[in-house]
Amino acid sequence: MFKKIVRFFKKKSNIVTLKKRALWVCRYAVSYWKEMLFYTLLGLSGTVLSLTSSLVSKDLVDIITGHQTGRVITTFIIMISMTLGSTFITQVSGYFSSKINLRVENTIRSEIFEKILSADWEQLSSYHTGDLLTRWGNDVSSLSSAILSYIPNGIVYLFRFGAAFAIMAKYDFTFALIAMAGMPFTYFISRNLTRRMQRNNMRSSVMNAKMSGFNQEAFSNIQTIKAFDMIGHYVRKLKELQSDYVKMRLNYQKVYIIISILLTIVGLGVSYLSYGWGIYRVWSGVITYGTMTMFLSLSGTLTNTLNSLLSLIPSGISITTSASRLMELTELDHENYESKEAVKEFYDNYCKDGVELKVEDVKYSYRNGNEVFDGVSFDAKPHEIVALIGPSGEGKTTMLRMLLSLVKPSEGETYIVGDGGKEMSLSASVRQLISYVPQGNTMFSGTIAENMRNVKEDATDEDIINALKKACAWEFVEKLPDGINSEIKERGGGFSEGQAQRLSIARAFLRHSPILLLDEATSALDPKTAKEVLKNITEDEYPRTCVLTTHRPGMLKGCSRVYRISDKHCTELTHDEVQEIINGG
């Protein structure tokens, strides 16, 4: 065992990792030192009352066996007071523990939530949604509980153990040694449990994330599962996952049961040995009946406290496991929003006539090495609608993500240009100047008005209705019983794809941004409605710069310029080439 410990700590990487995790947890813990101190003091007070009760019970037994009736009532009252006081402290401690724990958990959860949302999109997309939910939920709960209780409990347990041993040693040192006899066995058994628990915690976290991800995907795609008659398949997959999870838990439970039985046997052995030794010492006249009663009580306290101390080891493992999983998220590259004010100032000073978008000699590859762009360039000016066309999978959506700074070019420049040629590089902060309509249904649950105000909190009902009219959505919204206060179900449920798409376009209009990005935003609209939406964009006096991707040739009629993205390059098409595509469509 000693050699293993030495080998472990000789590995510099292990020390650095443990230190890094501990410091990361301590960073949160330090913020709550007052709560931790309060919790510790409550625990110490309860321990003092509990140990004092043992001393009082000793005196009570001695008084009764010695027939000192004059002191019985006084001692009995003191003992009841101690018990009530201990109960009161326990309840108060439990209440404040829950109250503080909820506050700490919510604070940490909101911080981790913000860090997840502000993390680099490309890195974050490598995590499954179910895994993120598990980390944000289970791991944060584990961490918050540990921050409040781990150090205070360690202090309280050590104090209780030391005080109980000191009291026993004062009255009879041999009894104290007997009470400690089970320690080597308990430590040896717990060491094996600790190693297994460490492995089990990691497997359990991975399995929980897998289960959560499976459930999230299944519930989000019920329509597809039904359409392809995959209910049986998904039920079988769930049962397989459940079976794997049960096997993992039961294997661990078997070991835990065996170890618990061994610990119980050791505990019983120490207890009965203490009983025997206590009876012998009483019969020998060395100690009184009261002292023996106190010893038996304190012997149980020592055993229980030792087990509590040892339980801190798996708790520590659980903490570090959760910490390492949360650290992965917080250590992702984070988007920089520090230049928001600078962007606003740039727009106010140099963009009275709109914003020009420029992409110059951009190169970009996916993380798997697949090259998407090799020297791509194009630009879009105010009052223009610039179309990006090309085969599926050639990078049209990726280009819009680049304009949103969700992905960054490995080479080249992406920037905006204002009056007098003033330039500013695209960044996360520039998104405040952009409205975006992505592919698919992107409406949130809630009312239509709530969805609209997600992008503009101070929007009036009139503002919302005007935006709906521009997106050709008011024609069906006004017929709804509750109008703009009509409910939208999860993922736009309750509305057709075309209606949900028009609501998404209206939301982008309401934001009233100088840059509008449309990613196949009219794919679910009939040709007439699609042309009407495009016409409303064109005729709007607001100096808006619009970039859209489309597979519909008819949409190119209202575009100022058309670029084809294909074979990693971007080429501007001539008027004749565009007309040929339109005629061919």
pLDDT digits (tens, 9 = 90+) for 521-560: 878 888 888 888 888 888 888 889 999 998 888 888 888 8
Query: What are the counts of helices (DSSP H) followed by strands (DSSP E) for the chain?
Result: 20, 12
Residues 194, 312: Cα–Cα separation, whole Å: 10
**Lowest mean pLDDT segment, chosen from 67-76, 339-348, 432-441:** 67-76
**pLDDT reported for residue 5:** 41
Residue of 500 and 91 predicted with greater confidence: 500
Is residue 573 scored above 60 in pLDDT?
Answer: yes
pLDDT at residue 433 is higher than 90: yes
CA–CA separation, 179 and 165 (whole Å):
9
CA dist 559 → 124, 353, 563, 579 (Å): 35, 20, 10, 11
Question: CA 147 → CA 29, 310, 315, distances in Å?
Answer: 5, 18, 11
pLDDT of residue 517: 93
- Give residue 10's pLDDT band: very low, low, confident or very high (50, 70, 90): very low
Q: Where in the chain is the domain with CATH 3.40.50.300?
A: 340-584
User: In sequence order, what are the residues at sequence separation of 6 or more whose Cβ sits closer than 8 angstroms to the Cβ of residue 498?
Assistant: 524, 525, 526, 529
Q: Is the pTM for the entire model greater than 0.75? A: no
In this predicted structure, which of 8-17, 370-379, 543-552, 559-568 has the lowest mean pLDDT? 8-17
Per CATH, the number for 340-584 is: 3.40.50.300
pLDDT band at 376 (very low <50, low <70, confident <90, very high): very high
Region 51-73: mean pLDDT is 65
- 443-481: pLDDT as tens digits: 888 899 998 999 999 999 999 999 999 999 999 999 999
Query: Where are the domain boundaries for CATH 1.20.1560.10 in the chain?
Result: 111-330
User: Nearest to residue 396, comparing CAs of 551, 554, 575, 526?
Assistant: 551
198-225: average pLDDT: 72
Other C-beta atoms lying within 10 Å of the C-beta of residue 134: 22
Tell the CATH superfamily of the 111-330 domain: ABC transporter type 1, transmembrane domain (1.20.1560.10)
* 90: number of Cβ within 10 Å: 15
Q: What is the mean pLDDT of the chain?
A: 80
Lowest mean pLDDT: which of 32-41, 379-388, 509-518? Answer: 32-41
- Provide the pLDDT confidence category of residue 141 given band limits of 50, 70 and 90: confident
pLDDT above 60 (res 12): no
Q: Which three-class secondary structure string do you get for 301-313? A: HHHHHHHHHHHHH
Rounded distance between C-alpha atoms, residue 126 and residue 108, angstroms: 23
Mean pLDDT, residues 62-68 taken together: 62
556, 550 Cβ separation under 8 angstroms:
yes
* Mean pLDDT in residue range 424-430: 92
Task: Tell me the one-letter amino acid at 177.
Answer: L
How confident is the model at residue 139, as a pLDDT?
Answer: 85
Phi, psi dihedral angles at 443 (to 5 degrees):
-80, 150
Higher pLDDT, 51 or 72: 51
Q: Is residue 62 a contact partner of residue 109, using CB atoms and an 8 Å limit? A: no
Check if the beta carbon of residue 357 is closer than 8 Å to that of residue 446.
Answer: no
Could you report the per-residue pLDDT of 230-289, keeping only the tens digit for each?
788 888 888 888 888 888 777 767 766 776 677 677 767 776 777 777 777 777 777 777
- Average of pLDDT values for 386-409? 90
Supply 23's token pair.
């410091």
**pLDDT value at residue 9:** 42
Give the pLDDT confidence of 485-495 residue by residue, as tens digits. Answer: 999 887 777 88
Alpha helices in 127-182 (DSSP H): 129-134, 140-171, 173-179
pLDDT tens per residue across span 107-137: 888 888 888 888 888 888 888 887 888 888 8
pLDDT of residue 16: 66
Please give the structure tokens belonging to residue 119.
């993390």
Put residue 313 in one of left, alpha, beta given phi > 0 → left and psi -120 to 50 → alpha: alpha
303, 267 Cβ separation under 8 angstroms? yes
Digit-coded pLDDT (tens) for 161-210:
888 888 877 877 777 777 676 666 666 665 555 556 556 666 776 777 77
Q: Name the residue among 366, 380, 307 with its Cα closest to residue 568.
A: 366
